[in-house]
Chain A
Amino acid sequence: MRLEPRTEAARSIWAIAPLVAVIASFIVAALLALLGGASPFAVFAAVIKGAAGTQFAFLETLTRATPLIFTGLAAAVAFRAKLWNIGGEAQLYAGAIMAVVLGTGALPLPAPVLIPMIMAAGMLAGALLLLGPTFLKTRFGVDEVVTTLLLNFVMVLFVSMLLDGALKDPMGLGWPQSKKVIAEAQLPKLIQGKRLHLGFLIAIGAALIVWFINARTTFGYEMRAVGFNPRAARFAGIPVNWVMAKTALLSGGLAALAGVSEVLGLKGNLTLDLSPGFGYTGIVVAMLAMLHPAGVIAAAIFVAAMFVGADAMSRTVGVPNYIANVMVATALLTMVTAMLFTRFRLKWR
C-alpha cells in the first residue's frame, strides 16, 4: 500500500470530506456508547435533543458557537498562509484582558462608542501577541508552532497573576476574578432574557469580511500564494514577510475578539475558566471547514452542538460528556486524512 500523487483535482473529495468526517465521528461515538453500556441510539437522540431539541438548547448551541467562530476564523486565516498559529487561546485572553481593563469603568463612554473601542483595543492586543512569534519565524526561522503554543501557558499564568493582583475584584470574596464590566460595555442580548448576544452576529459579520478578503482583495491573493508556495511567491515579487505580518495581525485580532465577546456578551468578567480551550477547538473548526469562512460558521455550530448536546446527554443517559471530545477529535483526524486524499490516492500493490 502506498500513496501516489493525484494528477487531477479531486473535487468530489472536497465536497464529501466533511460529511465523511462527521459520520466517522458518529461511528466511533456509537462504539464508545456501547462500551459504556448504553444504546448508541439513546445517546445520539439525547445529544441531538440537548443541542437543538428546544429553543433553549438551540440558542445555547449558538452561544457556544460564537467564540468558536472567532477562533476558527483566526486559525483559518493563518493556516491559509501556512502560519501555524496554535496560540488562539493566548490571543483570546489578550482580548479578554483588554475588555476588563477598558470595560470596567475606566472609560465612561456611551455603548456605541465604548464597545467598538474595546473591540479595537482587544484586537490590537491579540494581533500584537501573534506578531512576536511571526517576527521570530520570518527573521530567525523559529518554529511558530512552538512559540505560539507555549505563549498559551504564559498567557494563562499572566491572567492568573492579574486576577490575584491588578485586576482582582475587591468585592469578589477572594476569588480570582475581575470586576464586572459596566452596563455600557455589555453586548446586548439578541432575544430578551436569553443568553445569545450580539457577539454571534459580529462573528457572522467577521466571517463575511474574511470571505471578502479572501475572494476579492490583493491581500487574500497574497495569503494564498504565500501559503501554497512561499518560494515562488517571493520570486514573483510578493513581499512574503510583510504578508505574514499582516496575516498575523488579522489572525491574532480575530482570536482576541473571541475573548472580548465572551467577556462583554456572556460572562461579564474575566475568570481563569473563561475559555474551556476555545483557542484549540478553533483549530479543529478551521480544519473541518477546510479553511473556508462560511464553513467555519457551520463547523463551529456543529462542534458547539456536540459539546452542548453531550452535556445534556450525560445528565440523562449517564455516558460521560467526554464523548464529545472524542467525536470532535475523530472528526478532525478523519478530515485531515480526507484532505490528504484530495492530493494523493491510495495504491494497493
Chain B
Amino acid sequence: MAAEPSNGSNREDVVLRLAGISKRFGPLLANDAISLDLHRGEVLALLGENGAGKTTLMNILFGHYVADVGSIEAFGETLPPGSPKAALARGIGMVHQHFTLADNLTVLDNVILGTEPLWRGRSRHTDARAKLAMLSETFGLAVKPDARVVDLSVGERQRVEILKALYRDARILILDEPTAVLTPQETEALFATLHKLVERGLAIIFISHKLHEVMAVSRRVVVLRQGKLVAERRTAETDRHELAELMVGRPIPEPKVEPIPLGPVALSLRAVTLAGEGHPRLQDVSLALHGNEIVGIAGVSGNGQGALADLVSGIAQPSSGALSLFGQEIHYFDPAKMVSYGVARIPEDRHAVGVVGDLSLEENLISAHYREQPFSQRGLIDWKKVREFATRIIADYDVRCPGPQAATRLLSGGNMQKLILGREMAQSPRIILANQPTRGLDIGAVGYVHQQLLKARAAGAGILLISEDLDELLALSDRVVVMYRGRMSAPMARKDVTIRHLGLMMAGHGFAGEADAA
C-alpha cells in the first residue's frame, strides 16, 4: 500500500507527466499535443464534451492506445507505450464508468482476482482479507468482504472498484464519470473518500462533464475541446459559467422557463400497477399531467422510470389501474395507438430503441407514420414525399449528416437525438415522453434539446421528463415527482424542492413502509 501519510511540504511533486501527446484516427485528431502534470495529493478534473478526447487520452495513459507523438512519465520514469500491465505496475489504477466486476463472486474474490499467481494451489485469503480490512478502514470504504457483488448497491460496487485499485497499490487513480450512476448522497460519500485518498498522497484524475461536481471535488481543472487542451484553471479561481463556456467554446444561454397557465389534463394515471418478476415494476402510481407543463421524474435508475416509460410508450400494459389520455381511458396498449393520440416518445436508448441504425435517416423519420398520407398510399411508399419531409427535418433540426439516405447508425449521439426530436416534434405532439433526452449529449446539444422541450411546452404539450440529471430536472420542470421501488411521490412544485431533499427521497425517505433512517 502506497498511502504513506503526506507531510504537506512536497504536495507539488509531479507524479505523472504527459508531454505533447497526439493521436490521430484517420482524419480526426483526437488528441492534439496535450501536455499536463498531475501532482501528488490533488484531484485534477478532466472536463470536456463527448468527443473532446478525454477517453482517448486516458486510454493512451492506460496503455490501450499508443500515442503517435509524445511521452508519459510516471514517478519520474518513462512509461512504455501500449502496455496496460506496465501502467498497473507503476501504480496507475482506473475505475471505469461501467464496472468490471464479476457479479457472482464475493467482494474479496473480486478484489484479489488477477493478483494471484495461477500456479499457487491455495490462495492467500487471510492476508488479502487483512489488507482489504485495513484499506477499508483507512479510507472509509465500508464493504462486506463476503457479500456477493450481485447483492450490492451501485454505490457499494463503486467502492469495490476503488478498493480493487487500491489493493493493487495504485498511487494514481483515474475515475471515469464516477457519479453517473450515484445518488446525491452516494456522490457526497464518494467525494469524502476522494478527499481521504488525496490526504494520503494519492493523485486522482476525475473525468466528468458535471460542472458542479468538478467545482466541488477538484483542486485544478483541465478543459479539453476538440482534442486540444484549451484551458487550465485552479478551481478556486474559476466558476461554472466560465468552465461551461471553455468546454463548448462559446457562451451558453441558460434555459428560461416562462410561467404559463396550465392547460387541461392530458395524461392521467390512476392507481396504476405494473406486475414484474418478484416485485411490481410500478405500484399504485397516480399522476395528472397537464398541457403546458413539464413534470420531472427523479429517481435512481431502475426504480420504475423504465416501466413508466414503457407504459406511456404503449409497450407495456398495466396490471391494474387506469391510464387516460385527454379523458379517454386506454384499454388496448400499443405503440401505434399511443402515437395516434399524439404521444411523442423520446426513448432512453437511442441506438437500440430510438432508431433502426441500419436504415437510412429518411426511413427512420417515417417509422411511426409510414402507413399514413403523405408518406404512403394504398401500401405504396411515396419516396419523393418522404425525401422532402426528411430534407426539411434535417435542415430544421440541424442534423449533421451526409444526406437523408445515409445510414443512421453513423450519426453521432447528438445528431441522432436531433433526428429523433425532429421526427417526434414534426407531428405537433400533445404529450411528450422524454426519457433521459440529454444523456451523453454535448452541452450545445443539451441546450438545443431543452429549447425544443420548452417550445413544445409553450405550444400546449404536456411533458414527462425522466432524468437522472437533477440540475436538468430542476431547471425545466414545473413539478417534480420522485420514484422509488416502483412507487411515485406526490408532485412537488419546483420552488419547494432542493437537490438535497430530492436526494433523500431518491434513497427512499418519505415513502410509506421505508424506515426513516435519517
A residues sitting closer than 8 Å to B (CB atoms) are 7-9, 216-222, 224-225, 228-229, 231-239
Docked CA distance A219–B368 (Å): 14
Is A228's CB under 8 angstroms from B410's CB? no
Q: Kindly state the separation between the CA atoms of A237 and B347 in the bound complex, as whole angstroms.
A: 13
A-B contact pairs, 19 of them (CB 8 A): A9-B406, A217-B380, A217-B381, A218-B379, A220-B381, A221-B363, A221-B381, A225-B367, A228-B356, A229-B356, A229-B358, A234-B315, A235-B315, A236-B335, A236-B367, A237-B334, A237-B335, A237-B337, A238-B367
Assuming the contacts A225-B367, A235-B313, asked whether A217 and B379 have C-beta atoms less than 8 A apart, the reply is yes
The answer to whether B353 touches A237 (Cβ under 8 A) is: no
Does any Cβ of A come within 8 Å of B339's Cβ? yes
A233 to B334, Cβ gap below 8 A? Answer: no
Q: Please indicate the chain B residues that have their CB under 8 angstroms from the CB of A222 in the complex.
A: 370
Q: How far is the CB of B386 from chain A (nearest CB, A)?
A: 10
A225-B359 in contact given A9-B410, A235-B315 (Cβ < 8 Å): yes
Does A231 lie within 8 Å of B380, measured CB to CB? no
Q: Are B357 and A228 in contact (CB under 8 A)?
A: yes
> B209 on the interface (CB 8 Å rule)?
no
* Nearest A residue (CB) for B336: A237
Given pairs A216-B380, A218-B379, 15 additional interface contacts (CB within 8 A):
A9-B410, A217-B380, A221-B363, A224-B359, A228-B356, A229-B358, A232-B355, A233-B356, A234-B335, A235-B315, A235-B335, A236-B367, A237-B314, A237-B337, A237-B368
Whether the pair B336, A239 counts as a contact (CB closer than 8 A) is yes
Residue of B337, B379, B407 with most chain A CB atoms under a 10 A cut-off: B379
Q: Is B391 an interface residue (CB 8 A)?
A: no
Closest to B354 in A: A232
Q: Determine whether the beta carbon of A8 is less than 8 Å from that of B381.
A: no
B337 proximity list for chain A (CB < 8 A): 237
Residues of B within 8 A of A238 (CB): 336, 367
C-alpha spacing A231/B350, complex, angstroms? 11
CB distance from B365 to the nearest CB of A (A): 11
What is the bound-complex CA distance between A13 and B410, given in angstroms? 17
Return the chain A residue nearest B377 by Cβ. Answer: A218
Asked whether B233 is an interface residue with its Cβ less than 8 Å from the other chain, the reply is no
Which residues of A have CB within 8 Å of B381?
216-218, 220-221
Nearest CB of chain B from residue A250's CB, rounded to whole Å: 14
- Docked pose: A232 CA to B350 CA in angstroms: 9
In chain B between 368 and 406, which residues have their CB closer than 8 angstroms to a CB of chain A? Answer: 368, 370-371, 376, 379-381, 383, 406
Residue B352 lies at the interface, judged by CB distance under 8 Å to chain A: yes
Given the known inter-chain contacts A224-B363, A237-B314, A237-B334, please indicate yes or no for A231 contacting B339, CB distance below 8 A: no
Q: Contact at A231–B353, with CB atoms within 8 Å?
A: yes
Asked if B345 is at the interface of the complex by the 8 Å CB criterion, the answer is yes
Q: For A220, what are the chain B residues with a Cβ–Cβ distance below 8 Å?
A: 381
Q: Smallest CB-CB separation from B371: which chain A residue? A: A218
Contact B356 A218 (CB under 8 A): no
A196 to B368, CA, bound (A): 46
- A229 with B370, Cβ < 8 A, contacts A218-B379, A235-B335 known: no
What residues on B are CB-neighbors of A218 within 8 Å?
Answer: 370-371, 376, 379-381
Q: Which chain B positions have C-beta within 8 A of A237? A: 314, 334-339, 367-368
Give the residues in chain B near A229, CB-CB below 8 Å: 352, 355-358
A14 to chain B, nearest CB (A): 12
A229 and B357 CA atoms in complex are apart in Å by 8
For the complex, what is the distance from the CA of A220 to the CA of B370, rounded to whole Å?
11
What separation, in Å, do the CA atoms of A217 and B380 have in the docked complex? Answer: 4
- Cα A238 to Cα B354 in complex, Å, equals 13
Complex Cα–Cα for A228 and B364 (A) = 12
A contact residues around B356 at 8 Å (CB): 224-225, 228-229, 232-233
Could you tell me the distance in whole angstroms from the C-beta of B95 to the nearest C-beta in chain A? 24
Query: Does A235 lie within 8 Å of B407, measured CB to CB?
Result: no
Indicate if the CB atoms of B315 and A221 lie closer than 8 Å: no
**Bound CA–CA A220/B359 (angstroms):** 12
CB-CB nearest 8 A-B residue pairs? A237-B336, A236-B367, A237-B335, A228-B358, A229-B356, A232-B356, A228-B356, A236-B368
* Complex interface: chain A residues within 8 A of B358 (CB): 224, 228-229
User: What is the distance, in angstroms, from A2's C-beta to the closest C-beta of chain B?
Assistant: 12
Distance in angstroms from B53 CB to nearest chain A CB is 16
CA distance A179 to B394 in the complex (A): 63
- A233 (CB) vs chain B CBs: closest residue: B356
Expressed in whole angstroms, the Cα–Cα distance for A229 and B409 within the complex equals 12
CB-nearest residue of chain A to B372:
A218
Which residues of A lie under 8 Å from residue B354 when comparing CB positions?
Answer: 232, 235
CB contact under 8 A between A232 and B352, given known A218-B371, A225-B359, A238-B367:
yes
State in angstroms the CA–CA spacing of A235 and B368 once bound together.
9
CB distance from B287 to the nearest CB of A (A): 22
CB-defined contacts of B313 to chain A, threshold 8 Å: 235
CA–CA, A234 and B335, complex, Å: 7
Output the nearest chain A residue to B338 by Cβ-Cβ distance. A237
User: Residues of B contacting A7 with CB < 8 Å?
Assistant: 410
